[in-house]
Amino acid sequence: MKKYLFRAILLLLLTCLGTATVHAQGRLIRKIQEKAEDKVIEEIFKDEDKDSETETSPDTQIDPDGREYESSREMGPNRRGGGLTQTPPDVYKNITEAETSFNAAKYAEAKSAVRQALWGVELEIGQNILKSLPESVEGMKYAAGQDRVTSSGIGFVGLVIQRVYEGKSDMELRTSIGNDAALLGLAGMYMAGGMYMHSTDDADQKSIRFQGHNATIRYDDYDGYTLGVPFGQSSMLVLNGKNFDSENDFMAAANNFDVEKIKKELGEQ
């Protein structure tokens, strides 16, 4: 743009002075060129100043109406929001949809509806088990906001129910109930009895009988006491207690949970 402006000014002045002598033209051309160059330089710097004035700084923000405003702070963490609402699947509705889709040979939709129905059933079972658990254990109260029921919706393979109890002196008892495959990692050990073979000379881990079931208990300075009780065909109860004074205190807390009652709620044989 600046080059074209320079050429236009030069051409205009040369046209106006077309009758001058060659020598005079040479001097005039040099003067005109100098003035034109000065003009171009002036225009360049004027435009640069204008650009610098209108350039948006890193702290300049644009509001929804297109107006600029200065932001004087960095974006911090989110401090408000209600999270997401959770609505359990409607079991009967999904069963009906599965049947309709199957009859229409829409097998992918039928499969999805069946999975949603299974998910809804598992969540209902999980909530019923939570209701059956004690609200207090050896002076510790359950933390209602930490109750959890999770499910994969695949034939009761991924159902996990969790509850946390908290007490004085940082005592904590975590209860987990569900499918053994989902809880083995949480238990962190192979359980005795049934399909689990247990053999170790570890002084911090041993096999015991708990309410008529084979079980394993272990102790770790970081994790505290952990009790794993397999029951039924594929279910497990895992209890983790921190800051208990002794094994006896931990086992007294563990005996507040009725394995047979939980087994019945899960429909285990």
- If you write DSSP's letter for every residue of 56-101 in order, what string do you get? PPTTEEE-TTS-EEE--S-----------------HHHHHHHHHHH
In tens, the pLDDT along 27-59 reads 544 554 555 555 545 655 555 555 555 554 555
Look at 211 and 151; give whichever has higher pLDDT.
Answer: 211
Asked if 161 contacts 129 with a C-beta cutoff of 8 angstroms, the reply is yes
In tens, the pLDDT along 164-212 reads 999 998 999 999 998 766 665 555 444 444 344 445 556 788 999 999 9
pLDDT of residue 79: 76
Look at 56 and 150; give whichever has higher pLDDT.
Answer: 150
pLDDT of residue 68 exceeding 70, the answer is no
Q: What is the pTM of this model?
A: 0.61
Q: Which DSSP symbol is given to 146?
A: G
Q: Across all residues in the chain, what is the average pLDDT?
A: 75
183 burial (CB, 10 Å; 0-12 / 13-18 / 19+) is buried
In tens, the pLDDT along 156-166 reads 567 899 999 99
Q: How many CB atoms lie within 10 A of CB 7?
A: 12
- Could you give the angle at which helices 2-16 and 22-54 cross, rounded to 10 degrees? 150
Q: Measure CA 252 to chain center.
A: 36
pLDDT mean over 216-226: 93
pLDDT of residue 119: 84
Instruction: Provide, for the chain, the percentages of residues in helix, strand and coil under a 3-state DSSP scheme, each rounded to the nearest 5.
Output: 40, 25, 35
